[in-house]
Amino acid sequence: MNAAVERTETVDETLRLTLELVAATYRTPDAALRADLAGGAFAVALAEVAHATGVAVPALADVGWTAIEVAHVALFVTNPRRVPAPPYVGFAADDELLGPTAEALGAFLRHHGVEVRAGWGDLPDHVAAVAEAGALLTNAGRTDAARVLAAAYLLPWFERYAPAVVAADDSGFYGPLSEFFRSVMSEVAREDAA
Amino acid sequence: MRRREFLKLSGATVGAMALGGSAQAQLFPDGFPNPFRAPPGKWFTKDDVTTSYNFCEICFWKCGIKATTQGGKVRKVDGYAENPKSRGMLCPRGQGGVATTYDPDRLKRPLIRVAGSARGSGQYREATWDEAYDYIAEKMNAIKFQYGTESVAFYGHGTGDKWFAEYLPGAWGSPNAAKPSVSLCTAPRETASVYTFGRGIAGHEQIDWEETNYIVLIGHHIGEDTHNTQLQEFALALKRGAKLVVVDPRFSVAAGKADDWLPIKPATDTALLLAWANVLITEELYDAAYVEKYTLGFEQLAAHVAQYTPEWAAEITDIPADTIRRIAREMAAHAPRAVLPVGRHVVWYGPDDIHRMRSLYIVNALLGNYGVPGGYYFCDAPIVEAYPHPELPLAPAAGGCGGGPTEVAADSPFRPSVDRGKFFGSATAVQEFIEPMITGEPYPIKGLFSYGVNLFHTIPMVERTKQALNNLDLYVAIDILPMEHVMWADVILPESTYLERYDDLHLQAHKIPFIQARFPAHPPLYDTRSAFDMAKQLGERLGLGEYFPWSDVEEYLDRRLSSIGSSLEAMRNQGTITRRGRPYFADYERLNRNPLDTPSGKIEFYVERWAEAGLDPLPVFLPPIEGPAGMYRLLYGRSPVHTFARTHNNAVLMEAHGENHIWISTREAARLGIANDEYVWLENQDGVREGPIRAMVTERIRHDCVYMVHGFGHKAPLMRIANGRGASDTHLQTRYDLDPVSGGAGLRNNWVRLIKGAPDPQHPPIAWIERERSRA
């Protein structure tokens, strides 16, 4: 394997892992995330991404599971002091739900054969759904499409909302992770551009 | 890492990639490399566009609409000609209301308050529907075990309130179910109508605008409280040349169209109406033949109103006696095509309200217009059989104003509602449930459901309501947006919007009775449910499954429609089914039937049943309660683009009307040194302060009162647009006066002073908020 191919495979793997981490982080906290946190898989994956991109590993507070659940609701779902970060990539771009960016994203995903399962129960441009789509496309060999998702949709969301999450997060979990993912996405985009 | 499987690759693409063909595929669809715009010309082909019948839920006129959907999003709603409530037209709030479905602040999935966190602090975790239902059922059963089923109360407002303010309480066994649309809105007019005519008014004011030639509005805010076809008919009547008289302390929108504006002193309308009755009778201008044929108690009425001369009324109302006589004579000259329409929100002054409404009906009857072209027509709802189910343990009573005290049978397993004994009528009164939550008397209310009722912008004495909520063992809020009261709930159940759900059939009593149906324009955007689904799921967990025998909403609707020879599929393509009405006495008399369901079968000027109960059998004038010196009576009203406090996070509607003003007379403003558009504080008789609110200095209001539009002044930062704009009249209503007959809560016996020095809140333009939403 020559160096260029090896580097490409490493970059692809980093992208895939990053997208899976984003998907796991921003969807409703579930048993899988809880197990990955408790079992250390989440931390290992974070360390791999950090190593590959040169971004510092985020220092996550040792908070209880309930604190993560509450923080997720307060940051992304419902909050009496307003939701700091509506988790929709189309909204980040358009200030409108189901606007032109979400439409374009929908067309893009359909074009690549990705569709939303019936039980998802949220908008298709939820940041967790977009990341999951990217991970699937990477696994299917369409890393180019996954890169579009990361650069055109996810990175703008993180650029806009990561600071808001950092400012509003009481848990010590979502704030550091959001800043980490923003940095990683920027790094991936920079490398792509290079 | 475990794979999260909410996305899947379609077979075609997986197959293509497995064959290695993906390298040849274009990265962007149709080679259109713009991730922020869909490929041009691809999205609005005819096949992409669907239409679905629905009825609007933004206000309670419930206009029939057709929703046009493209790309999974409703792009437009319109009225349609076949629907008697819209006739092909729709108002601005109906059009703009679509934005609520796509409001990013919507509630998205069930939430459960974290144990130990304070109500209102916003500490929630997401829950599955099963978890939420189980949590609620467990708490309800605990309350039932300790206090009885009656200790769970239910509030509801909106189409789905059938399930949470009527059906589920009936199945569960709680008489404590109430709608604010009764005791905080229409109770006096309904009770007065039932006892005078033997018929209520209900959700559709049956004024024969199309046939009338003379209209007298008593504090009726038509044109401000925009009800689509009502406004259409009103406008056509004026265009046709009908004369208009407006009685209002304020020069309202309707007054701007009037031939006569009578700026009456607040709280004295009953005196004016009694004086009109006096003139009609003493000058023998009433319709004697009609009175003879259709009414009972005229002699008692004539003797009673002899005391209420125009000169007497002039002293009280500030309306000159000559004007009172002139208007009475003009009404009589146009009778029976002269009408005094009943308004909707009539809980103004408490004990006086029932007398005002009775007086209004009596003047109409003296003009001979009830059941006659140009006056009030009769309307009955079309009949569609209920889905067969076992009889509910307790008859739903939340919407009823139709009779005397609800007597509980000696062998009934249920206690009467907690408001029994506080007033004569049979309605349940929303505001009277609050005190038992605090005091436990006559028995405790420990659980509460609030379906679509904004507790802090509906029920007076807001702080008392908050105190009551803190005493509950269970508070469930069912809503679409995170209103302030929602964030006090133990469990939040997010409802799908009217564009995303089916609902029960809407059977409309109307001049043309009709049935209309609601079909979802697209699936729910989030993990939300309809009230229909929630009630069934919860009912089954409570062991009440026998009362919910249907399999799903489509089967339920199809079964009901089959009783009239229709079907869900037929209705899907039709939207509305109309019936033939019987609007006038003549239509009934042809069938030897009598539409008046009073004990005498006549219009009862004198109500014997009230006399027997120690109540005034004839309407009397009660002198108004006077406010503290230096304060102004607080009047409130409606906006044509807003509904109650429900629509103030809607960017489209807030663009049209983004904050309320406090109207004050030019004379008083000059005395206080208040300039037009200046921000002021409002402080009421109990020291409660609201605002800042902008002053509107105007000649259009009397000097002894001020006026503001209801529904503004939200205190919910989560509602990014609504929050902090304008002032709340409800928060200034720290007292109410109970009507001892109907149970209505008179809300206009509150007074405020205007205080200078309020800062300009410098509200950003709505468009800017939309653009900047959630930016750090």
Length of chain B: 776
Question: What does DSSP say about strands B338-339 and B295-296: parallel, antiparallel, or unpaired?
Answer: unpaired
How do residues B117-135 score in pLDDT, each as one tens digit?
Answer: 999 888 999 999 999 999 9
CB of A16 within 8 Å of a chain B CB? The answer is no
- Does any CB of chain A come closer than 8 Å to the CB of residue B773? yes
Distances B131 to B138, B159, B539, B541, B544 between C-alpha atoms, Å: 11, 25, 14, 11, 18
A-facing residues of B in 98-157 (CB < 8 A) are: 102-105, 107-109, 111, 114, 120-126
Chain B hits for A42, CB-CB cut-off 8 Å, are: 1
**Measured between alpha carbons, how far apart are the two ends of chain A, in Å?**
22
B665 pLDDT higher than 90 = yes
Name the band, by pLDDT with cuts 50, 70 and 90, for residue B774: very low
More confident residue, B409 or B723: B723
Length in residues, chain A: 194
**How distant, in Å, are the alpha carbons of A191, B482, B681 from that of B775?**
28, 20, 30
Contact B7 A96 (CB under 8 A): no
**pLDDT at B406 exceeding the cut of 90:** no
Backbone angles phi, psi at B268, to 5 degrees: -120, 15
pLDDT in tens, B255-286: 999 999 999 999 999 999 999 999 999 999 99
Measure B341 CA to nearest chain A CA, in Å.
42
**Which residue out of A77, A114, A115, A125 would a mutagenesis test of the B interface target, given it has the greatest number of B Cβ atoms within 10 Å?**
A77
Strands of B49-55's sheet in order across: B49-55, B64-70, B73-79
pLDDT band at A7, cuts 50/70/90? low
Residue A191: the pLDDT is 77
Question: Which residues make Cβ contacts (< 8 Å) with residue A106, sequence separation at least 6?
Answer: A124, A125, B38, B71, B72
Provide the ipTM: 0.83
- pLDDT tens per residue, range B503-525: 999 999 999 999 999 999 999 99
Note whether B12 contacts A: Cβ–Cβ < 8 A: yes
pLDDT tens digits, residue range B185-238?
Answer: 999 999 999 999 999 998 899 999 999 999 999 988 898 888 999 999 999 999
Q: What is the pLDDT of residues B137-174, one digit of tens each?
A: 999 999 999 999 999 999 999 999 999 999 999 999 99
Asked if residue B28 has pLDDT above 90, the reply is no
Place of tokens 């991936």: A188
B 691-750 near A (Cβ less than 8 A): 716-718, 720, 723
The answer on pLDDT for B48 being more than 70 is: yes
Residue B618 · residue B304 · CB < 8 Å? yes
> Is the confidence at residue B403, as pLDDT, over 70?
no
Query: Cα–Cα distance between A172 and A162 in angstroms, integer?
Result: 13
Q: At residue A110, does pLDDT exceed 90?
A: no
Contact call for B71 and A24, based on CB within 8 A: no
Q: Please report the domains of chain B, with CATH numbers, ordered by start residue.
A: 1-42 (no CATH), 44-96+501-527+550-588 (2.20.25.90), 111-184+396-495+530-548 (3.40.50.740), 207-376 (3.40.228.10), 632-774 (2.40.40.20)
Q: Which of residues 505-564 of B touch A (CB under 8 A)?
A: 525-527
pLDDT > 90 fraction of chain B, expressed in percent and rounded: 80
Question: Does the pLDDT at position B20 exceed 60?
Answer: no
pLDDT for the residue numbered B18: 27
Query: Number of Cβ pairs closer than 8 Å across A and B?
Result: 204
**Residue among A130, A133, A64 nearest A92 (CA):** A130
Residue of B488 and B657 predicted with greater confidence: B488
State chain B's mean pLDDT as an integer. 91
Task: Give just the sign of the alpha carbon dihedral B459, B465, B471, B476.
Answer: positive
Contact B37 A117 (CB under 8 A): no
Q: What average pLDDT does the segment B668-677 reach?
A: 97
Question: A98-107, B7-16, B484-493, B622-631: which has the minimum mean pLDDT?
Answer: B7-16
What's the mean pLDDT in B329-334? 98
Check residue A140 and give its pLDDT: 87
